[in-house]
Structure 1
Amino acid sequence: MERRELVDRALRGVEAWERRWGAFSPSPASRPDIDLAALLDTYAARMDASFPFFHPRYAGQMLKPPHPVAVAAYLAAMVVNPNNHALDASQATSPMEVEVMADLARMFGLAEPSLGHLTSSGTIANLEALWVARELAPGQAVVHSQDAHYTHGRMCQVLGVESRAVRALPDGRIDLDAVETELQRGNVGTVVLTPGTTGLGAVDDIQHALALKERYGVRLHVDGAYGGFFTLLGEHDAYRAIGACDSVVVDPHKHGLQPYGCGAVLFADPAVGRFYVHDSPYTYFTSDELHLGEISLECSRAGAAAGALWLTLQAFPLERDRGLGEILAACRRAATEFAGRIKESDRYAVHLEPTLDIVTYWPRRARMSEISVAANEILQKGMADAADPVYLSTLRVNADAFATLHPDVERDAETVTILRSVLMKPEHEGWIPDLMAKLDQLA
């Protein structure tokens, strides 16, 4: 079905629901002195400033539109407007959230029972995981990689928790020797691991980190906001180790085909739900079952997010060879092919072999400073070509790490700006020749 047909069908279901309760129209329907048609035209014109995130020529940041199935489900639920804080306000979508959280727990290999819920973002999901970690180990620090997402340092500030950033290896993975040094210093309660960093797509060695958990008794929190769904492909031992960690975050609004406003946090030990205990005199009255608001820091949460994810996972199940795994495999193939073509180029060089679907590369120059200038010029020229634009992104890399990987380049700067392409749309697989041709033209 096309997107319009999907949306129309979903809305017809909502209209049938509305008719059960009698005629309905918004009051007021509109202001007579306002030309809504003209306003919508103005709105469409303003939206025209957006980059084409849906198109494979957009190979820049971690942006893509939700799948039409998710759009249809979200829009239909949004009209009803359930609030997944309590069953009182979400009789349909709260059970859907419980189901999708069970699906995600199985994907990560968490033992039953676990505890989890959707959030409005990966930031809030990580905040909740670190908050629980603080409650379990008050006064103890959180250790994370300097290449981990910046949210961990910020959320530690919010929580009043000491954060310690340790060095990353040249390939972007956390240096577990540096982690162990911090653990030997003492007063560390949690170590954050990332299976898919947002810069390089590096996958931390979670398997070996489990030995540190055993030796020092620390909690392991996995920030799979970007790379978590790659668990389905089973390419890295790190993903098979997630089930033995204490908490994990994933963002369905990235590789889960969802609109923004859909993150998720899961805890291996359901007993941490005790930290969420609170009382409300006017909610939680329709059922004695657990209300999702009783295990969430957020109060009002869009039931539409749960409905959209539920329907999407019915259409694209969490399986390797069909459904969502098949889509992720196409993204991996695109990244592998793109990196292969760059290696054959005399204009560009690969910075790191892609681990997921993020490819980092640089225009061949003799000095680090010249690479940075050329990368920025290529980025701007690509976007400025009105007839045939291409959208890339850049990444600032520490000069030490760059020099380790590319010793023949003269070091004359402390950082190097390189090019970065996130090939997170399966359509990218068929567009790699065009992307490479455009890059050659820009160089």
Structure 2
Amino acid sequence: MDKGAQKFLGKALDDLTAWGTSFGAWSQDPVLSVSDERAEAVFSRLAQRLKCNYPFHHPAYAGQMLKPPHPLAWAAYAMAMSINPNNHALDGGPPSSEMEKEVMADLAGFFGYGEDFLGHLTASGTIANLEALWVARQSHPKKKIAYSGNAHYTHERMCSVLKVEGHKIAISDDGSFDLDAVDPEEIGTIVVTLGTTGLGEVEPLDQIIPWAKEHGIRIHIDAAYGGFFRVLKDSDLSNEPAWSLMQEADSIVVDPHKHGLQPYGCGCVLFKDPSVGKFYKHDSPYTYFTSEELHLGEISLECSRAGAAAVALWATLEMFPLKEDEGFGPILRKCLGAAKRMYQLAELSKKIKAYKEPELDILGYFPSECETTSKISQKSKEVFEKGMRDRTFYLSLYKISSEAFSRRHPEYKVDTESVTILRSVFMKPEHYDFVPQLFHRIVDGIS
């Protein structure tokens, strides 16, 4: 945590301590006490063990989708956790519940929904997508849920959990859905992913909308990774039509703990039509009595949820507005710019070749001085391991079918069923300035 966050958190915790003592004198029960010596020893060992993590905070780490929370978001979360509110019912955390409703209104407006919507935070994008697919099943019982071959495995898995038949749609070379192979009479909901977790691809929402509306099919957008890039919809850096069409979807999922600067876990699900709340109807003999207002647990599959997640997101959106020219816009501009910068360097290189041009801040690439797919896979794994061993760079690996790889790069001989390439996720704005250095470190690792 940086010094500024420590200062603000310290002052705020002092204020909360004064509030806590205003209810009367009390002291912690001795059974909860731990000696200073023991606590110091445990925390010393803990610090050593946590140092075994990869350096997620540093721009040398460009591997998986792991983005450190903003220090001020972490501080707000820690501040709320000193109280530990539960956002299931209003009596579990009145202020944090109100903050959740406020951030949900902000996110609904950001994605183009009106004032009448239904939504809440969740523990993760997985749970958020489960909830969206559950509503899809309740809305169109006995109908299939369709998703592309590039969709996150969550959708196939949750269809199994929900005992709904899933239908995987083939993707053409240009990224379009092969809708001619789909019987629309069988489909109740179609999932469109805006920011695949593999290579950050933005699926063709503009193609899906007229087809889905013609056949009365619901649209669910899985924007768990890419959703916040909508802030760049009117910028010169993005030409994706999907960002301007998100309000046409029936439900949207986004993960604030990815590009929203939040600690884990903080997912979010939104429904355009608030009448889907009828599927949540339930009763509790002890929970919903403190207020006639809507309790968040009445519109959620989850029960207890950390109110601290809502507090941290509320504080973040107060400091970083969802605008192109301030707040999130400049941050995501640098993330997307970093991927484009790495792509340009690869285009000029004799050592590295990009798999395809990036749509978001994820880039796939591979050692180019190989003749076969087996050699590409072998060399990619060697580079991946060398970076971690030497602690000079941290990447990830990505497996593609050799058939798909060969369509883009026919100059390489196919001698395997799949090919493994390198992959970088440029989630930190610091990556933009660090990319040239990272690129040269990778090239040195190939040599």
TM-score range, shorter chain: over 0.9
Equivalent residue in structure 1 for 2:286, among 274, 282, 289 = 282
Match of 2:100 among 97, 100, 113: 97
Q: Please state if 1:359 is matched with 2:358.
A: no
Q: Are 2:143 and 2:165, in contact at CA under 8 Å, matched by a contact in 1?
A: yes
- Deviation, 1:366, is 1.3
Letter paired with 1:3? A
- Distance between the aligned counterparts of 2:434 and 2:377, measured in 1? 26
Counterparts of 1:40-439 in structure 2, within 5 Å, are 40-170=43-173, 173=175, 175-176=176-177, 178-184=178-184, 186-234=185-233, 235=238, 236-364=240-368, 365-386=370-391, 389-439=392-442
Equivalent residues of 2:332, 2:429 under 8 A apart = yes
Give the superposition deviation at 1:207: 1.3
In 2, the alpha carbon distance for the partners of 1:23 and 1:352 equals: 65
Whichever residue aligns with residue 23 of structure 2, its letter is W
Q: Give yes or no for contact 1:169–1:401 (8 Å, CA) kept in 2.
A: no
1:264 counterpart SS class:
strand
Does the CA contact (< 8 Å) of 1:18 and 1:24 recur in 2?
A: no
What letter matches 1:228 in structure 2?
A: G
Quote how far apart the aligned CAs of 1:244 are: 0.6
Which SS does the other structure have where 2:208 is aligned?
A: helix
Q: TM-score, normalised on structure 1?
A: 0.96
Using the TM superposition, give the Cα deviation of residue 161 of structure 1 relative to its aligned residue in structure 2, in angstroms.
0.4
Partner of 1:9: 11
Q: Deviations over 1:347-378 (max 9, x none)?
A: 01011101110011111111111100000000
CA distance in 2, matches of 1:167, 1:142: 14
Alpha-carbon offset, residue 401 of structure 1: 1.3
Alignment CA distance shift 1:194-1:154 (3 Å): same
| Distance apart, 1:33 and its partner CA | 10
In the alignment, residue 299 of structure 1 is paired with which amino acid?
C
1-side partners of 2:179 and 2:13: how far apart?
A: 52
Name the aligned partner's letter for residue 347 of structure 2.
K
Quote the offset at 1:135 in angstroms: 0.3
Counterparts in 2 of 1:127 and 1:214: CA distance versus 1, 3 Å: same
Give the SS at the match of 1:2.
Answer: helix
1-side partners of 2:171 and 2:114: how far apart?
30
Structure 1: runs of 5 or more not aligned: none
| C-alpha RMSD of matched pairs (Å) | 1.4
Superposed CA deviations along residues 191-233 of structure 1, whole A, max 9, x for unmatched, are: 1000110001000110121111121111110000000000110
Give a deviation string over 1:100-127, Cα, whole Å, max 9, x none. Answer: 0011111111133111000000000000
8 A Cα contact 2:372 2:412, kept in partner = yes
Contact 1:121 1:251 in 2 (8 A): yes
- Tell me, yes or no, if the aligned pair for 1:6 and 1:68 is still in contact at 8 Å: no
Q: Percent identity, aligned pairs only? A: 50
Q: CA deviation at 1:9?
A: 2.7
The one-character-per-residue Cα deviations of 1:268-318 (angstroms, maximum 9, x if unpaired) are 100000101110110111110111000000000000000000000000011
* Matched AA of 2:399: R
Whether the 8 Å contact between 2:67 and 2:259 is mirrored in structure 1 is no
**Structure 2 SS opposite 1:352:** coil
Q: Which amino acid aligns with 2:12?
A: A
Partners of 2:440 and 2:339 in 1: how far apart? 16
Q: What whole-Å deviation, never above 9, does each CA across 1:382-418 have from its counterpart, x for those lacking one?
A: 00004xx210001001112111111111111111101
What SS does the corresponding residue of 2:413 show, helix, strand or coil? coil
Q: Is the Cα–Cα contact under 8 Å of residues 115 and 270 in structure 1 kept in the other structure? A: yes
Write the letter of the residue equivalent to 1:182.
V
Structure 2 residues not aligned, in runs of 5+:
none
In 1, Cα distance between equivalents of 2:130 and 2:103: 21
How far apart are residue 32 of structure 1 and its match?
4.9
Conservation of the 8 A alpha-carbon contact between 1:10 and 1:72: no
Q: Write the distance in 2 (CA, Å) between the matches of 1:417 and 1:24.
A: 61
Q: Give the distance between the partners of 2:349 and 2:229, measured in 1 at CA.
A: 29
- 2:23 paired with 1:21: yes
Q: Is the 8 A contact 1:183 1:216 kept in 2?
A: no
Shift of 1:146: 1.2
1:367 alignment partner AA: T
Deviation, 1:29, is 4.2
CA 1:170–1:14: 2 relative to 1, 3 Å: farther
| Aligned AA (2:79) | A
SS in 2 for 1:314: helix
